[in-house]
Amino acid sequence: MRGLWKLFTMQFKLYLREPLAFFFTLVYPTMLLLLFGFIYGNQPAPEFWGRNFGTVDASVPAYAGIIIGTVALMGIPIDTATSRETGILRRYRATPLRPAAYMIASVAVYLAIALAGMAILVIVGKVIFGLRIAGSWPSILAAFLVSAGAFFSLGYLIASLVPTARVAQVIGMVIFFPMMFLSGAGMPLQLLPETLQKVSEFLPLTYVVQLIQGLWFGDAWNTLWMPTIVLAGILLAGTALATHFFRWE
């Protein structure tokens, strides 16, 4: 796997050099947290959350959905389709770099970016609002990885199916932005009318929020079997389809 580490660090730097990508994954979720944190504070509100947690405590795991969604549905399809369309992938194909090495580096970079976005969010929440976590870190991390894996596979699938980077951008936005607000990631589902809450059951991002937020509040995995199965299913099916449809040129 020669070149893997160099490619990883290079792609990481390239990601950070794109102001828009940088903003949406590393700055935007934290901005939202600061905004709503200062408006609502982080006093426990059992009447709203059903247990002893405040707005910030509930928002941080929900925003994990925003981070995963932006990286997977905006970052991955646009970057990958651009690299294919402009001939960057072709240039790599003219070297001994193995396709597997390219894919591993690519997935690892997006994962690292998503984890970095999440880390910033947790640190800001902790330092400024005294963020509370009832669940265990390994469980939350595992849920985050499964969710990211499921959504990344969808991102690569979109990248494989679209003809151009422009189309990738449009499709990514059309899927992501409504889902952000209807899944509980951008705002609590309790604020939505009942019909829209029904719609949320059909959106995959809803299950990311359910799983991570549930574990965050200290729920056991066996009470979260539904989102776990949905996300694991998407991960398997998405990976199989993305691998099948992936094109280098």
Partner 1 sequence: MILERIAVEVLGLKKYYKQVKAVDGVTFQVKRGEIFGMVGPNGSGKTTTIECIEGMRRQDEGQIRVLGLDPQMDFYELRERCGIQLQSANLPRRMRVGEALDLFASFYRQPRDWRPLLQGLQLADKERVYFSQLSGGQQQRLFVALALINNPEVVFLDELTTGLDPRARHQIWDLVREMREQGTTIFLTTHYMDEAERLCDRVAIIDQGQVIAMDSPTHLVGDLGMATRISFQVSNHSIPGKNGAQGESPVVFDPRQVGVLDGVQKVEQEGDLVTVFGNGEQLLSRVITTLETSGVRFQNLRTTQPNLEDVFLCLTGQTIAS
Query: Quick one: which of 64, 66, 97, 148 contacts partner 1 (CB under 8 A)?
Result: 97
Under 8 Å between Cβ of 61 and 137: no
User: Where does residue 1 rank: exposed (0-12), middle (13-18), buried (19+ CB within 10 A)?
Assistant: exposed
Alpha carbons 39 and 55: distance in angstroms, whole number: 10
Integer Rg of the chain from CA = 18
Among 165, 143, 161, CA closest to 220 = 143
What's phi and psi for 30, nearest 5 deg? Answer: -70, -35
Site map (CB under 8 A) of partner 1, residues 8-47, x = contact = --x--xx--xx-----------------------------
Would you count residue 166 as binding partner 1 (CB under 8 A)? no
Would you count residue 7 as binding partner 1 (CB under 8 A)? yes
What's phi and psi for 87, nearest 5 deg? Answer: 95, 15
Would you count residue 93 as binding partner 1 (CB under 8 A)? yes
- In the bound state with partner 1, the residue whose beta carbon lies nearer, of 104 and 189, is 104
Q: DSSP secondary-structure letter at 223?
A: G
Query: Quick one: which of 96, 127, 193, 244 contacts partner 1 (CB under 8 A)?
Result: 96
Q: DSSP secondary-structure letter at 72?
A: I
Query: Quick one: which of 3, 44, 188, 218 contacts partner 1 (CB under 8 A)?
Result: 3
Query: Letter for the amino acid at 99?
Result: P
- In the bound state with partner 1, the residue whose beta carbon lies nearer, of 3 and 218, is 3
Would you count residue 83 as binding partner 1 (CB under 8 A)? yes
Q: DSSP secondary-structure letter at 185?
A: S
The distance of closest approach from Cβ of residue 249 to partner 1 in the complex, given in angstroms and rounded to an integer, is 9
Would you count residue 113 as binding partner 1 (CB under 8 A)? no
The distance of closest approach from Cβ of residue 77 to partner 1 in the complex, given in angstroms and rounded to an integer, is 16
- In the bound state with partner 1, the residue whose beta carbon lies nearer, of 46 and 99, is 99
Would you count residue 247 as binding partner 1 (CB under 8 A)? no
Would you count residue 95 as binding partner 1 (CB under 8 A)? yes
The distance of closest approach from Cβ of residue 9 to partner 1 in the complex, given in angstroms and rounded to an integer, is 9
Query: Quick one: which of 22, 48, 49, 98 contacts partner 1 (CB under 8 A)?
Result: 98
Helix, strand and coil percent figures for the chain, each rounded to 5: 80, 0, 20
Alpha carbons 49 and 218: distance in angstroms, whole number: 13
Under 8 Å between Cβ of 185 and 211: no
Residues that bind partner 1 (CB under 8 A): 2-3, 5-7, 10, 13-14, 17-18, 83, 86-88, 90-91, 93-98
